[in-house]
Amino acid sequence: MLKRCRARRLRAGLLALTAAGGLLLTGCSGGGSGDQSGLSDKASRGGGPAPAPAYSQGTGEQGDSEDESQDQDDRSRDLLAPPPDYLSTFALDVDTASYGYARRTLAEGNRPDPSTIRPEEFVNSFRQDYRRPDGNGFSVTVDGARTAGPGNRDWSLLRVGLATRPKEDEDERPPAALTFVIDVSGSMAEPGRLDLVRDALDVMTERLRDDDSVAIVTFSDEAETVLPMTRLDGNRDRVHDAVDELEPTDSTNLGAGVETGYATAVEGLREGATNRVVLLSDALANTGDTDADTILERIADSRREHGITLFGVGVGSDYGDALMERLADKGDGHTTYVSTEAEARTLFCEELPRHVDLTARDAKAQVSFDPETVEEFRLIGYDNRQVADEDFRDDRVDGGEVGPGHTVTALYAVRTRPGASGHLATATVRWLDPDTRTPHEESGSLEARSFHDDLWTSPRGLQVAAVAAYFADALRGGDDRWSTLPGRPSLGQLSERAEELARDREDKDLYGLAEAIETADRGAPMKGPEPE
């Protein structure tokens, strides 16, 4: 059930007194950002609460421990800000594996497990045409549209769009030092696993630059470095020979593979290059360490001291989604999933070489909703990427890593107050320069009058994001941790929307989305309540 972010009058009065007392005690410290409650004088004037200040100061209204425990449990399920909090904070995420794996599962005639459905990965599987920044940072776009249907009065979808500037020239990026950690366990013998990896790596080797370097580590029962870090200039045949010798063998000691991969990356570390570990596996670990946190602890020094990021590539119809996703999230990286030769070639031959560089480290976003105009809100997805509001500007707290030319989208279901006008929300993104670790911020805001009257006549990019989010919402129906999104169409209607958008854009990825939705619609009925 959707929980409400309503500020009751009595509670608001008590908070106002608390805030006033806090201002008297703290004076003008914190650079003029002393408002914490989201119900400040600034909010009452229609300006809305500011992003979290650079220091932590409680609101003084915490409730008893039982209430706190319940609030935490509710936040983990619905990501709805508890009263009187009008802030929403999360780490950026450019993963797309959940959508890719769901498509394959549906194509094989099965329904995806709801626990593997992460809506933000569905949404971020589709590139948006946000305005790009002039420099090496982010642009921030905030827009939204009202949803249709009975029972959806005053509900809207709000979109926060972030974009980085693409590299104008392939030679503009620094050299890459890539350590490929390849699963050669027995389960990788299935068609569409190791054979797909071999083919893609061979093609990618020809696409990388002469000043790039490659190392290869394999793992089954044990891990082995079969090719130390090697400059490609004049050495491509050595890489091809190592790739051609990859053969499936025994069990899956993924922990040993990751540990050896990072050790190889450190040994071949190149100053001034982008050093990255690329893990290719079905992530069905069954030998050695199989817990993501334990594996990550063993490579913690390599990650922190040398800034080596992890890129996880999942393959196979049976796939350890949870393990791969946690390794990437906590390993300063991201994940994707490939199931066909065409997808693998696109990933390794076009996307990886183009996006091997980093634009931002530890990137976080915070959205500040105005309590004068917003009655309740819900962040769609990012369930395991939420960050405490007070940690937004704590650069020791882990965020997400984003490369050049990426877009990141977050959707909110927002219920506005009747007759709402004026400021609705301000979105701020904060990130660290990958080289100097200098923090930067950029913001964008939205007024109520800027909401589009109808979602399905709004800008095409917003419609695409909505279709992807609604599809994910339908697939995880039956899991009572989440309630149905307001205004969700039927699968048949979503398929028609996706088909129309695909024709309009002549976009093969959107045709794939339409096909996946149609496949789901032909299958077993969705569990859970019918959409309104």
Q: Is 13 helix (H, G, I), strand (E, B) or coil?
A: helix
Question: What does the H/E/C string look like for 223-241?
Answer: EEEEEEEEECCCCHHHHHH
Angle at 458 between CA 86 and CA 517, to 5 degrees: 90
What are the pLDDT digits (tens) for 97-116?
A: 999 999 999 999 999 999 99
The amino acid occupying position 281 is S
Count of alpha carbons within 13 angstroms of residue 365, beta-carbon side: 29
Closest CA to 160 of 444, 440, 363: 444
What are the pLDDT digits (tens) for 228-259?
A: 999 999 999 999 999 999 999 888 899 999 99
Q: Are 138 and 431 in contact (CB under 8 A)?
A: yes
Angle at 400 between CA 397 and CA 404, to 5 degrees: 140
* Range picked from 9-13, 168-172, 493-497 for highest mean pLDDT: 493-497
Q: Is 87 helix (H, G, I), strand (E, B) or coil?
A: strand
The amino acid occupying position 194 is L
Mean pLDDT of 517-524: 88
What are the pLDDT digits (tens) for 285-322?
A: 988 888 888 998 888 877 778 888 899 999 988 899 99
What are the pLDDT digits (tens) for 146-186?
A: 997 766 778 999 999 999 999 877 677 889 999 999 999 99
Residue 159 Cα to chain centre, angstroms = 14
The DSSP code sequence of 292-322 is: HHHHHHHTHHHHHHH--EEEEEE-SSS--HH
The DSSP code sequence of 453-520 is: S-GGGS-HHHHHHHHHHHHHHHHTTT-TTSPPPTTPPPHHHHHHHHHHHHHHHT-HHHHHHHHHHHHH
What are the pLDDT digits (tens) for 337-366?
A: 998 888 998 888 878 876 688 999 999 999
How much is the pLDDT for 151? Answer: 67
The distance in angstroms from the start CA to the end CA of the chain is: 14
pTM for this entry: 0.82
Tell me which residue has tokens 């419609």. Answer: 463
- Domains of the chain by range and CATH? 93-167+360-522 (2.60.40.1230), 176-355 (3.40.50.410)
